[in-house]
Amino acid sequence: MNVFHIVGARPNFIKVAPVMNALKTRKHVVQTLIHTGQHYDANMSDVFFEQLGIPAPNVNLAVGSGSPAWQTAEIMTRLEPVLLDGKPDVALVYGDVNSTVAAALVGAKLGVRVGHVEAGLRSFDRTMPEEINRLVTDQLADMLFTPSEDGDINLQKEGIPAERIRVGNVMIDSLVRLLPAAQRQNRNRLPERYALVTLHRPANVDDGEILKRILQSLLEVSQDLSVIFPAHPRTRKRIADFGLQADQLQILDPLSYLEFLGMQSRATVVITDSGGIQEETTYLGVPCLTLRENTERPVTVSLGTNVLVGRDPEKLCSELSRVLAGNAKKGTIPPLWDGHAGERIAALLAG
């Protein structure tokens, strides 16, 4: 059985690792890993491969950055001959990034069976590029591996007839495996209490006024608590382009998987607009204040530690006060977020 995995961006790497690991034990499976090159900086890509123990990609399409349409089209053009040549029995795509939808389109048009890992998530906000990627990918996929019940319900409502299978959360598989190693990282260099911040959504960072207001709110947070802010390259570039002042915030380069996970696990609070971090904090039981009006991961709010504060500085401050007073929202771990989702996918694919 010939399985192709197509990945391209940072969160994809964390998701592919457990699936590849689980399939490795099936002797009749040959795996090919294709990196689209959507993320190419060493600290956005290479370090994740090393720490997660992912083999070097068999093919790198080296697409690089560009507008969404250009990037998607370029990945499609470069991937098509690779799939034609390799004739996979199944192509697995991960998450909701441009590489995901591009690969699903190419696979579906070539008649290759497409499996979507992390299917069914919906923010119901079509201004998010990821929401468009999710909708299209799920329409095209033959096998839909969902992380939570809301994913099954969304797919059913959309009338998607393909196989829907709840397998749990592959991102949590990587977390469970590497948390002990992560907790041995940079133990002595961290303040006792701190807020860990990430920010990269176009809706938050591509508009100068909005980004300025968020940075001001973070400055206010820093009056009460040290702020550690590993910035995505997109965010750093926008801060510079808009000439914004952020000197009082500790802005760092993107961190490796182990460093970031270690910092998350010890944070007093995490402030973010990432999807995956809402899930990781829920698993870790760390309070998470999400700078978005909606989430495609509602289970992190209904069961977990996540609170949506949108872009309202007052809500951020009041929720932060709750955390600092020791009254943070308590959560539980959603069903099937148990470290074995990759194993369940492998069993469904290859017995």
Looking at residues 173 to 232 of the shown chain, list those that interact with ligand UD1 (rule: CB under 6 A): 200, 232
Dist. CA 254–CA 201, nearest whole Å: 15
Query: If we measure between CA atoms, which residue out of 89, 90, 95 comes closest to residue 15?
Result: 95
CB of 95 to ligand UD1, least distance (A): 7
Catalytic residue among 5, 200, 232, 340: 200
Q: What is the DSSP pairing of strand 163-166 with strand 143-146? A: parallel
CB of 88 to ligand UD1, least distance (A): 22
Dist. CA 15–CA 147, nearest whole Å: 12
CB of 31 to ligand UD1, least distance (A): 23
CB of 255 to ligand UD1, least distance (A): 12
The torsion defined by the Cα of 125, 142, 280 and 325, in degrees rounded to 10, comes to 40
Residue 312 near residue 294 (C-beta atoms within 8 A): no
304 binds ligand UD1, rule: CB under 6 A: no
Residue 329 near residue 290 (C-beta atoms within 8 A): no
65 binds ligand UD1, rule: CB under 6 A: yes
Which residue type sits at 338? Answer: D
9 binds ligand UD1, rule: CB under 6 A: yes
Q: Is 200 a catalytic residue?
A: yes
Give 41 or 158: the residue with its C-beta nearer to ligand UD1.
Answer: 41
**Applying CB under 6 A, which of residues 3, 4, 5, 10 lies at the interface with ligand UD1?**
10
Total residue count of the chain as it appears in this document = 351
CB of 239 to ligand UD1, least distance (A): 13
Residue 104: how many other CB atoms lie within 10 Å: 25
Three-state DSSP at 275 gives coil
Binding mask 130-149 for ligand UD1 (x = CB under 6 A): x-------------------
Residue 90 near residue 115 (C-beta atoms within 8 A): yes
Give 277 or 346: the residue with its C-beta nearer to ligand UD1.
Answer: 277
44 binds ligand UD1, rule: CB under 6 A: yes
Residue 310 near residue 293 (C-beta atoms within 8 A): yes
Q: Can you give the binding site for ligand UD1, defined by CB under 6 A? A: 9-11, 38-41, 44, 65, 96-98, 129-130, 200, 232-234, 237
Residues serving a catalytic function are: 200
